[in-house]
Structure 1
Amino acid sequence: MRCFIFLTIFLSAGSVLAQETVVRTGADILVESGFDRIAGHTVGLIVNHTALVGDEHLINLVHASPGVTLGAIFGPEHGLRGTAEDGEAVQDGVDQLTGAPVYSLYGKTRRPTPEMLSDLDLLVFDIQDVGARFYTFISTMGLAMQSAAEAGIPFVILDRPNPLSGAYASGFVLEPEVQSFVGQFSIPIAHGLTVGELATMIKGEALLPSLDSLELEVIPMQNWTRNMQWPDTGRPWVPTSPNIPQFETALVYPGTCFFESTSGSEGRGTRNPFLQVGAVGVNGSEIAAVLNRKSLPGVVFEGVEFTPEPLTSMDSAPKLNGQFIQGLGIKVTDRRTYQPVEVGIHIFHAYYHAVPAADEFLTRREWLARLSGTTKLAGMLESMTPEEIIASWQEELTNFIQRSEHYYLYE
């Protein structure tokens, strides 16, 4: 196995301390308690670079705690440091500081194996999510829950905020036939839950099998309420992956990620991924004019020009590499009224009908089905308006919200 040193990330806390009320994560609460819940255990940590408590990483704090034995570290997509590119396999290793084995859950396996768990008696999950179904950290969580259930060990989640808030849910509820690692559960694209709430719903609603016996515990946050978006938390944004460098990116991502299924660009290979999109042969200024006439809440559109190029630690081989694009820029003017999935459908529909040949634009229909959660969207783009597409998921979305309310941990 390769050896590497986990580098502690230091962040300025000045802006946080200036806030009257700062959201305190489950990790903050656990550390403040002297690791009371996990004391006396040999634990495996499922973490990445976002598992911070102040300016210290949870790995370092657990390792320094005399009452806890750090038995293993597990890393999700993008690796322990969060620098591996989208879809890039990550290798196992050893953390040189602690001597603990580091197992990749985005390499040879997507879930902890019995051998990896053989010396552990508890798993702890602490990763910042972005609130979108196809962001794979929650898939890692669900599969690890299954592994913990099979091994007969508890699974503890240190809860963190949903950056989009707990008051916004939208999009198609996943159809079972398109289940994949970018969609493990029958939930909408934007689910409106924290990872702790989602985990309790996954178990309670049997969204994954074989979880009846799982001893699941969530250490909740303090000071978080459902209407809070990330800027309301008083916490600094840590890029959750190479192409989600800021909160604004996370906010638009649930809608513009659809462009991954096309020959067009979702903005990778630029410093503004997902905040700008485009396709060869389509004038983004004309698309902006069409969309601005709709007066969609919380957003204005503008024509932008960009040329995707390889960027270190972001995308070494972006689509349309080196090709000049007259694209579309997304400017969120009111984050509280902005609806990312709905806006994404309007943008995607406009491009679908503007490209010279739709089949040459929509080149990965299976991937679109996995991202959207339905095999129907491709056909809907051809025959329905954006408003009709959005209306088509309202009944299943309402049903999901009603069921999910039983698992809310916060008001």
Structure 2
Amino acid sequence: MESSKPVRRRRASALSRLWHRVLLCSFLLTASGAQSGELDAVARAQLDLIVAAQIEAGRSPGAVVVTGDAHGISYEKAFGLRVAGQHPEPMTVDTVFDLASLTKAIATTTAILQLVEDGQLQLDAPAARYWPAFAANGKQHVTVRELLAHTSGLRPGLPVLPAAATPASVLRDVAAERLHAEPDTRVIYSDLNFVVLGQLVQRITHRSLDHYCRTHVFDPLGMADTGYLPDSEHALRSAATTADREGMRRGRVHDPLASAMGGVSGNAGVFSTAHDLARFAQMILNNGRAGEVQILKTSSVTALATPASPPSILPLRGLGWELSAPLASNRDRLPPVGSIGHTGYTGTGIWIDFVSQKWVIILTNRVYPDDKGDARPLREQVLGLLASREPEIDIRDVEQRLPWTAPAIAAASILPVSTGPLKTGIDVLEDQQFAPLSGLRIGLVTNRSGFDANGRRTIDVLEQAPGITLAALFAPEHGLDTNRDERIGDSHDAATGLAVHSLYGNSQRFSDASLEGLDALVFDIQDAGVRFFTYETTLGYALEAAARRKIPLFVLDRPDPLGAERFGGPVLDSGHESFTGFFPLPLLPGMTVGELAALFNQERLIGADLRVIPMHGYQRSMRIADTGLGWVPLSPNLRTASQLDLYPDVALLEGANVSVGRGTPHPFEWIGAPWIDGVRLAQTLNDLDTGARFEPVDFVPTESAYRGELCHGVSIVSHEPSRQTARLGLALLSALLRLYPQTFDLKATRDAVGSKAIWQAIRQGADRETLEALEAEELGRFGLLRARYLRYPGE
């Protein structure tokens, strides 16, 4: 055992040297046609960097990346090695890969849907109708659809298989399985589901699964290099996986369950090439047709991408495929519908986008030679790069282009129902039967965060309230649905037909024309509890507008989602106010919306007729998870409570030349730039007492800073909610300045930090104790002011 580490290091070193040689010979083929899908030189260079970095990191010896559209291939390139050792072989675009679980989507799902089309099988029929033995132990009602969607309730796989396992013994064990969950209540990704489906194909057609797929799927599509049990010619150009008793696997299935099934199973066992998979993807985008041959009906193709699993459980699954958002620059902000994808354990993956009409295939041998590789970063970065080249998409455009996505989009917009004792201002107003607003013609300042305990929009509650006329709507930054990250024009609310006046368009203030004829303004927006979040400034502008028009402003109070029992961080300098800082507040004011409104109104001498509808049952120590209100994203990049918790710290970097993870699945959890050494930065930060732990990460943002560029940086993998306010953020600023004094743009963070004294101390290299002493001095003055406006218990 002790000698294995030096051997492994020598092998890694050899792989690295071979990679440098093979990279010079990497094969590039660009097909004619599909000019719109061509990658420009910059994108190709970034893609080369992405794959090279993953190979250098030892996550995979080699890869083939292929992209295209319904008409053909637009980009294809092979990287690295398919076999190393004394006789290395370079990866080529015709390398044969063990597809592993791609078998489920490419072969088994296609076969099942063909049988449905032919009337030989029904999706909602019990699987036991076709395989009676499967009914054992309470599985008699599990349907074919539930098997395809991984909602059957079966566990992921069988225990360790005995060496003497045979297809017959595997099928006996699967038939004897008990359910681990009620069907159609959970998604449990299970190989057993597809072993059953493969058996159904064989029992219905009286042909082996490999024969059926060859005859009805692969041959009609011209997939000459695809099939189970590769012959010697295909095995010779296959990518190696791992060793077994017979030696290194090449052309022999890696999956143990499929191996026990003799290499032919519904869950794994198919081998293929990038070219053949490209043919399959083109068929899907051509409504199931390949030339004159109809492989699947259009209705079956639609079914692949229609949610078949519970809408509240992610990842959302269609029939045989995982569902995801389209390859658009804002894909991480969209509901997971519009494209389908699947991955395989060996390092394979395919994604087909019905909106852009493009597809992506990434094939690696990441398990070679010792099952230690990882294809996930490569997949994420390549998909990020390709998405960054596409325009932003409005979810309403997705629904218009793909009408069958409407139910899933509607399900994604459902607001949560309260499960706790807290009543927000809108709930209290309902209890009062809207008496404070009786007889008034009102304008409502709100967005998706304004809803009552029953999950109804405040817009709809007030529009239907007796004795009230809801005449106009006003939307802050990010729009009425909190899904826009750009300037927004005026619009109309589809449900009520009311005019929506944008407060983040040509102006951020209320125009006199928009207030014409109103008797009052009502404000119901969930704030983020952070000084530079612009909803606070919109509250201040609402006070000014109400005072100017001499009409009351009703604030329907909501909690501070980060907890209102504490306040802290640098205080904005007086005279430095802006749209991201209405009043000299600390980074975390520790106040509710209603309390802030009272402070703004009095201390800015606004003089508005402010009427706060207070919450009932609120304690200052409550964070959003304690309130029972349920979480809705407060903006396109504050999608989770965890991201909100990090937002005040990480957003201190926003103005600088770094990415804070916008345009990734992890905004405010990832920080990086092309010029950062992620390993070094993670080590530096982990040596500090920040209340967080960091790991290196590489990523490609699809939008915002460094869009479409490979960034290196850190992932915040854990953080203490009770950590010292702003300590993490100030440590990030100090560490980046210390490591990259000539590159990091500290000057651009001045407005976010707010305090000139603290910002200058960072610039001068002050230690943490000095920074926190300056902060404490500023907070002492604010604490006395804040205390005058607190109205809830807890301090």
Would you say same fold, with TM above 0.5? yes
Give the aligned partner of residue 705 of structure 2. 319
Structure 2 counterpart of 1:373: 754
Q: Find the counterpart in structure 1 of residue 482 from structure 2.
A: 82
How many residues align structurally? 382
The match for 1:218 is 612
- The structure having more radius of gyration, on CA atoms, is 2
Kindly indicate whether the alpha-carbon contact (under 8 Å) linking 1:349 and 1:386 is maintained by their aligned counterparts in 2. Answer: no
Aligned twin of 1:305 = 698
- Say whether the 8 Å CA contact 1:178–1:374 is kept in structure 2: no
* RMSD after superposition: 1.9
Quick one: distance in 2 between partners of 1:96 and 1:294?
51
Aligned to 2:468: 68
Deviation (angstroms), 1:77 = 0.4
For 1:167 and 1:112, how far apart are their aligned partners in 2? 32
2:108 — aligned with what? none
Structure 1 residue 342 corresponds to structure 2 residue 727: yes
3-state DSSP of counterpart to 2:726: helix
Q: 3-state DSSP class of the match of 2:536?
A: helix
TM-score (norm 2): 0.46
1:230 matched to 2:624: yes
Question: Cα gap change, 1:247/1:173 in structure 2, threshold over 3 Å: closer, same or farther?
Answer: same
Does residue 1:404 correspond to 2:786, yes or no?
A: yes
Distance 1:392 1:51, change over 3 A: same
Q: Secondary structure at the match of 1:11?
A: coil
Would the alpha carbon gap of residues 339 and 271 (structure 1) be closer, same or farther in structure 2, given more than 3 Å must change?
A: farther
Question: 87, 91, 116: which is aligned to 2:489?
Answer: 91
How far apart, CA to CA, are the structure 2 residues paired with 1:172 and 1:378? Answer: 9
Which structure 2 segments of 5+ residues have no match? Answer: 1-395, 397-409
The residue that corresponds to 2:455 in the other structure is 55
TM-superposition CA deviations, 1:361-392 (whole Å, max 9, x none): 217x3x52221113445432231123322321
Query: Letter of the aligned partner of 2:699 in structure 1?
Result: F
Name the amino acid aligned to 2:738.
Answer: H
Residue identity matched to 2:698: E
Helix, strand or coil at the partner of 2:683: helix
Matched, 1:267 2:661: yes
**Alpha-carbon distance between aligned partners in 1 of 2:768 and 2:639, rounded to the nearest angstrom:** 29
Distance in 2 (alpha carbons) for counterparts of 1:57 and 1:48:
9
Distance 1:250 1:273 in 2: 10
Match of 1:313 in 2: none
Q: Describe the SS at the equivalent of 1:177.
A: coil
Write the distance in 2 (CA, Å) between the matches of 1:26 and 1:223: 11
Change in 2 beyond 3 A, CA 1:280/1:379? farther
In the TM superposition, residue 300 of structure 1 has moved relative to its aligned partner by 1.8
Equivalences for 1:2-401 in 2 at 5 Å? 9-13=413-417, 16-17=418-419, 21-53=420-452, 54-85=454-485, 88-206=486-604, 209=605, 211-212=606-607, 214-297=608-691, 299-309=692-702, 317-335=703-721, 337-355=722-740, 357-358=741-742, 360-362=743-745, 365=747, 367-383=748-764, 384-401=766-783
Q: Identify if the C-alpha distance between structure 1 residues 332 and 387 changes in structure 2 by more than 3 Å, giving closer, same or farther.
A: farther
Structure 1 SS opposite 2:712: strand
CA distance in 1, matches of 2:499, 2:707: 37
Instruction: Tell whether the 8 Å contact from 1:49 to 1:57 is kept in structure 2 after alignment.
Output: yes
Highest relative contact order (Cα 8 Å, sep 6+), 1 or 2?
1
| Percent of aligned pairs sharing the same letter | 34
Kindly provide the amino acid, as one letter, of the partner of residue 437 in structure 2.
I
1:130–1:250 CA contact under 8 A, matched in 2: yes
Residue 285 of structure 1 deviates from its aligned partner by 2.7
Quick check: 2:543–2:553 contact (8 Å CA) kept in 1? Answer: yes
1:235 is paired with a residue of what secondary structure? coil
Q: Deviations over 1:290-320 (max 9, x none)?
A: 22223333x22222222212xxxxxxx3211
Looking at structure 2, the residues matched to 97 and 295 of structure 1 have their Cα atoms a distance apart, in angstroms, of: 50
Partner amino acid, structure 2, of 1:40: G
5+ residue gaps, structure 1 = 310-316
Distance 2:598 2:728 in 1: 30
Q: Is the 8 A contact 1:122 1:153 kept in 2?
A: yes
> Does the 8 A contact of 1:22 with 1:235 survive in 2?
no
1:123 shift after superposition: 0.5
SS at match of 1:308: coil
Compute the displacement of 1:202 (Å): 1.1
Contact 2:552 2:609 (8 Å CA) reproduced: yes
